[in-house]
Chain A
Amino acid sequence: MDGRVSNVDYVIQQEYRAPTTPAPTRHTSAIAKPGVKPNLIVLSWITPVVLIVVWEALAQAGWLSPQVLPAPSKVLRTAWKLTLSGSLLNDLGVSLLRAAAGFAIGGSIGFILGTLVGFSRIAEALIDRSVQMIRAIPFLALVPLVIVWFGVGEGQKIFLVSLGVAFPIYINTTLGIRQIDPKLVELGRVQGLSTLQLIRRIILPGALPSILTGVRYSLATAWLALVVAETVGAQSGLGFLAMDAREFLRTDVIVLTIVIYALIGVAADSIARLLERKLLAWHPNYGKGARS
Chain B
Amino acid sequence: MSPTSVTSSESAVTVSGLTRAYGPRVVIDRLDLRIGRGEFVALLGESGCGKTTLLRALAGLDPIQGGHIDAPGRPAVVFQEHRLLPWDTLWQNVSLGLPGADPRKRAAAALVEVGLGDRLDDWPRNLSGGQAQRVALARALVQEPRLLLLDEPFAALDALTRIRMHVLVKELVARHQPGVLLVTHDVDEAIALADRILVMRNGVIASEHRADTHGGPAASRDQLLRELGVATNLQVA
Find chain A residues with CB under 8 A from B143 CB. 191
Q: How far is the CA of A191 from the CA of B76 in the complex (A)?
A: 7
Knowing A183-B79, A186-B61 are in contact, say whether A193-B97 is a contact too (CB < 8 A).
Answer: yes
Main secondary structure of the interface of B (DSSP, over half): loop
0 or 1 for each of B54-86: is its CB under 8 Å from A? (1 = yes) = 000001010000000000001011010101011
Q: Is the CB of A202 within 8 A of B74?
A: no
Q: Is B125 an interface residue (CB 8 A)?
A: yes
Nearest CB in chain A: distance from B72 CB, A: 14
Closest to A208 in B: B87
Which of these, B76, B81, B96, B123, contacts A201 with CB under 8 Å? B96
Find chain B residues with CB under 8 A from A191 CB. 96-98, 139, 143
Q: Is B88 an interface residue (CB 8 A)?
A: yes
Knowing A201-B85, A201-B96, A202-B85 are in contact, say whether A284-B125 is a contact too (CB < 8 A).
Answer: yes
Q: Is the CB of B74 within 8 A of A205?
A: no
Find chain B residues with CB under 8 A from A264 CB. none
Nearest CB in chain A: distance from B207 CB, A: 30
Main secondary structure of the interface of A (DSSP, over half): helix
Q: How far is the CA of A283 from the CA of B143 in the complex (A)?
A: 28
Q: Is the CB of A287 within 8 A of B123?
A: yes
Q: Is the CB of A282 within 8 A of B97?
A: no
Interface residues on A, range: 20 to 34
Nearest CB in chain A: distance from B48 CB, A: 20
Q: How far is the CA of A287 from the CA of B124 in the complex (A)?
A: 13
Q: Is the CB of A190 within 8 A of B77?
A: yes
Find chain A residues with CB under 8 A from B83 CB. 183-184, 187
Q: Which residues of A from 234 to 283 have beta carbons under 8 Å from B?
A: 280-283
Q: How far is the CA of A192 from the CA of B99 in the complex (A)?
A: 10
Nearest CB in chain B: distance from A191 CB, A: 3
Closest to B126 in A: A289
Q: How far is the CA of A109 from the CA of B88 in the complex (A)?
A: 28
Knowing A186-B61, A192-B74 are in contact, say whether A283-B87 is a contact too (CB < 8 A).
Answer: yes
Find chain B residues with CB under 8 A from A186 CB. 61
Knowing A190-B61, A192-B97, A201-B96 are in contact, say whether A184-B85 is a contact too (CB < 8 A).
Answer: yes
Q: How far is the CA of A188 from the CA of B87 in the complex (A)?
A: 14
Q: How far is the CA of A283 from the CA of B87 in the complex (A)?
A: 7
Q: Which of A187, A192, A208 has the most CB of B within 10 A?
A: A187
Q: Is A206 an interface residue (CB 8 A)?
A: yes
Q: How far is the CA of A184 from the CA of B87 in the complex (A)?
A: 12
Q: Is the CB of A282 within 8 A of B81?
A: no
Which of these, A187, A189, A190, A282, contacts B87 with CB under 8 Å? A282
Q: Is the CB of B59 within 8 A of A283?
A: no
Q: Which residues of A from 162 to 208 have beta carbons under 8 Å from B?
A: 183-184, 186-193, 197, 201-202, 205-206, 208
Q: How far is the CA of A208 from the CA of B76 in the complex (A)?
A: 28
Q: Which of A186, A193, A197, A287 has the most CB of B within 10 A?
A: A186
Q: Is the CB of B61 within 8 A of A193?
A: no
Nearest CB in chain B: distance from A205 CB, A: 4
Knowing A187-B83, A188-B97 are in contact, say whether A282-B125 is a contact too (CB < 8 A).
Answer: yes
Q: Is the CB of B123 within 8 A of A183?
A: no
Find chain A residues with CB under 8 A from B125 CB. 282, 284
Find chain B residues with CB under 8 A from A287 CB. 123
Q: Is the CB of B96 within 8 A of A193?
A: yes
Find chain B residues with CB under 8 A from A208 CB. 87
Find chain A residues with CB under 8 A from B139 CB. 191
Q: How far is the CA of A111 from the CA of B96 in the complex (A)?
A: 26
Find chain A residues with CB under 8 A from B76 CB. 190
Closest to B76 in A: A190
Report, nearest first, the 10 A-B pairs whose CB atoms are least far apart: A191-B97, A205-B87, A282-B87, A187-B83, A192-B97, A190-B77, A191-B96, A193-B97, A282-B123, A192-B74
7 new A-B contacts, CB < 8 A, other than A184-B83, A190-B76, A206-B87, are A183-B79, A187-B83, A192-B97, A197-B97, A201-B85, A202-B85, A284-B125
Contact surface of A with B, Cβ cutoff 8 Å: 183-184, 186-193, 197, 201-202, 205-206, 208, 280-284, 287
A/B interface sample: 19 pairs, CB < 8 A: A183-B83, A184-B83, A186-B61, A187-B83, A187-B85, A190-B61, A191-B143, A192-B97, A193-B96, A193-B97, A201-B96, A202-B85, A205-B87, A206-B87, A280-B87, A282-B87, A282-B88, A282-B89, A282-B123
